[in-house]
Structure 1
Amino acid sequence: MTSRRPLSFWIKWLLLIALVLGIALGVTRALGKRKATSEAARATAESLQKTPTYTLSSTDVVTVQSIELTQTVALSGSVDALQTAAIKARTAGEIQGLSKREGDPVKAGEVVARIDSTEAQARVRQTARQAESAQAQVAIAKRTFDNNQALVRQGFISSTALDTATANLSSAEATHQAALAALDIARKSLADTTLRSPLTGQISARLVQNGERVAIDTRVFDVVDLTGFELEAAIAPADAVAVKVGQTARLTVEGLSEPVQATVARINPSVQAASRSVLVYLRVPALPGMRQGLFAQGHIVIGGVTALAVPVSAVRNDKPQPYVQVVREGAVVHVPLQPGATGLKGTEPMRAVEGLPAGTQLLRAQAGLIREGTAVRLSAPATVSN
């Protein structure tokens, strides 16, 4: 007969088997974790290897060089005619004879309207008759004075009568002079019923119509002379220090396709109380298409400076400090900029920079924002900053 094994024997074997299974399970889990980590690392490496490299064209990159910057002061304002006039009624009455309209030419002294002169003509006739009557009284007083003077010499009358005649003559002469003055006033009022243009130009506004009754100082026409123009611009006092009479300016005027050259004609010696600005007046040529009231903007050339500069459009401002995107060792680096002088190279706004050596390549605005550290490749040599 086969003897039975004790229970402790089987318990030992069961524990041994459980231990082996636990060890095997632990090893399996460890190998699985290491494999997952290895695969994640390999995926990360592959992802990094697949990071795109931007290809930049020659127009996307500019090379920093030392250039001559034209320093300017910006300005804007409205172009106004040098000579303008408002034709106003100088006497009250009914408007007659209006024939001019906006855009019609006029000459200096030309009659552009009349005011009903019936009353003015009657007043002239009245004062003329009063002057004639006063002149007749002077003649009577003069004859009386002459007669009394002769009688006094002959001793027929006293000197008192002569004194009275003298006083009457003086009074008559004064009355005559007053009548003549009243006649002059009446004639002036009659002349004021005729409205004439004070200058040669064009009608810019017609403000009344025939048959309307106007009061004194009512505007009837506005006239502008288009042979000369001026621009009034307000600039900061700090900028006005460098502005001098005779300096040139380059303006862009609305409606005109070509830039307009202007000259600083005058500078106001006082600062405007409300805006704390200085008014500068520029003489603008009378080019074809120039009109009263056109808006213009541009800059006054105040000098020049040689400096390392970059286009203003290449300077980005989406961070607290302005910066440029520099291409360094095949990657993009964001380099902050310190404040520097600004100016023009031709017509392109430029900004002087410090800390960027000549030959540094940076991205223009058209390249857009590229993340710092991104690899880039140039398809052609970069352009210079011009």
Structure 2
Amino acid sequence: MAQVAACTLACAGGVWALISAPAASGAEIATAEVNVREIDRTYAADGVVEAVRQSTVAAQVPGRIVEVRVDAGRSVVRGQVLARIDEREAAQAVAASQAQRARAEADLANSRVNYERTLRLVEQKFVSEAALDKARADYKSARAQSEAARAGALQAGAAKSHTVITAPFSGVVSARLVQVGEMAAPGREVVTLYDPTRLRVVANIPQAKLAEVRAHAAGAAPLVELPSLDRWVKANGVTVLPSTDSRTHTTSVRVELPGDLKGAYPGMFARVHFPVGRTSKLLIPARALVYRSEVAGAYVVGDKGEIHFRQLRLGEPAGEQGVEVLAGITRGERVALDPVAALAQMKRGGR
């Protein structure tokens, strides 16, 4: 029989013993020894992924929408144009305000010259003080009108700039809420976007479990299970909100997700496993498991390389450390890490 080669397979919280076991026909199959390991005892709470930074961008001026440049799923950068509103009316308002400003500035220049002339004539005793008072009042009035015209021009220019709707931050468009040709109005929602680098899971914890979760929050970070992605990730932080729902008697907890997490988006289901202590469990590597309808099992490799399928009763998953086994296998037995290869080998020569 070929010599058995031993190596290690690293996993979170422990090390699986990986052994290349000779099968009955001489081909080697990678196996791992089922063993009892000390792991975190956890409390699982269902939650929903949400974006820390999410915004529904709305129109600020009325007008017909003439262009929409993005759609749901599109990545955008800060300042990128999302949509355009017909700017013809706004452009006419800008032209009118600029004309009014030019007229007000001309009136201001004329009243300034008149005031200075009147001031010199008063000094020479050619006109009365009443004429000077009127010239001074006209000058002040013209200056106020000039400032009002300048503000009106700036306001018209700002309104015209609002016909171009841009992204307030870099992110992903999650919803497009308008179509070309529709009428926009102040407050009309155009698109919704979120920042995919800042996501969190919001879960609700019963008050009866809250003290236990808080007691172990500083010791170990919770693990977040994302079933749709078939991934487990370690949380970056936990925030317990200082309020409780009076109807359900639960407290909301925010669990920060890593910034480089790919594939997650707001609304996705997640399950948070909060550590509440330590316990010992019999674990089997997750990749060694085989699911046939509602039956779970694994291919057990004997000392002489014989392979046979064993039905198992499983407990709770333990993240990357494996899955708890309640019945069907004993400590020290070895299971094939490649069920497909083990099945093919068993059909060729194993039992």
Q: Per the shorter chain, which TM-score range?
A: 0.5 to 0.7
Summarize the Cα distance change of 1:237–1:247 in structure 2 as closer, same or farther, 3 Å threshold: farther
Amino acid at match of 1:180: R
**1:294 matched to 2:294:** no
Q: CA deviation at 1:247?
A: 4.4
Distance in 2 (alpha carbons) for counterparts of 1:225 and 1:343: 30
Summarize the Cα distance change of 1:158–1:247 in structure 2 as closer, same or farther, 3 Å threshold: farther
C-alpha contact 1:70 1:343 (8 A) present in aligned 2: no
Q: 2:171 aligns with which of 201, 204, 208?
A: 201
Amino acid at match of 1:182: G
Distance in 1 (alpha carbons) for counterparts of 2:74 and 2:276: 41
Q: Tell me the residue number matched to 2:251.
A: 278
Q: Pick the structure with greater CA Rg.
A: 1
* SS state at 1:255 partner: coil
Amino acid at match of 1:198: P
1:114-162 Cα offsets, whole Å, 9 max, x none, are 0001110000010111111111111111111101111111112222221
Farther-moved stretch of structure 1 (67-76 vs 77-86): 67-76
Amino acid at match of 1:168: D
Q: 2:78 aligns with which of 108, 113, 117?
A: 108
Summarize the Cα distance change of 1:273–1:137 in structure 2 as closer, same or farther, 3 Å threshold: farther
Distance in 2 (alpha carbons) for counterparts of 1:249 and 1:132: 66
Distance in 2 (alpha carbons) for counterparts of 1:343 and 1:180: 68
- Residue correspondence of structure 1 range 1-386 to structure 2 within 5 A: 70-241=40-211, 242-243=213-214, 244=217, 247-285=220-258, 286-304=260-278
* SS state at 2:243 partner: strand
Distance in 2 (alpha carbons) for counterparts of 1:208 and 1:245: 46
Farther-moved stretch of structure 1 (198-207 vs 270-279): 270-279
Give the total of aligned pairs. 260
Distance in 1 (alpha carbons) for counterparts of 2:218 and 2:168: 30
Summarize the Cα distance change of 1:248–1:146 in structure 2 as closer, same or farther, 3 Å threshold: same
Quote the RMSD (CA, aligned, Å).
3.0
C-alpha contact 1:247 1:263 (8 A) present in aligned 2: no
* SS state at 1:108 partner: coil
* SS state at 1:227 partner: coil
Q: CA deviation at 1:254?
A: 2.7
As a proportion of its length, which structure holds more helix?
1
1:296-317 Cα offsets, whole Å, 9 max, x none, are 01311143378xx999xxxxxx
Q: CA deviation at 1:349?
A: 7.1
Distance in 2 (alpha carbons) for counterparts of 1:301 and 1:95: 52
* SS state at 2:201 partner: strand
Summarize the Cα distance change of 1:69–1:260 in structure 2 as closer, same or farther, 3 Å threshold: closer
Distance in 2 (alpha carbons) for counterparts of 1:202 and 1:69: 38
Farther-moved stretch of structure 1 (270-279 vs 159-168): 270-279
1:307-331 Cα offsets, whole Å, 9 max, x none, are xx999xxxxxxxxxxxxxxxxxxxx
As a proportion of its length, which structure holds more strand?
2
Summarize the Cα distance change of 1:120–1:343 in structure 2 as closer, same or farther, 3 Å threshold: closer
* SS state at 1:270 partner: coil
Q: CA deviation at 1:199?
A: 1.5
TM-score by length of 1: 0.60
Amino acid at match of 2:198: G
TM-score by length of 2: 0.66
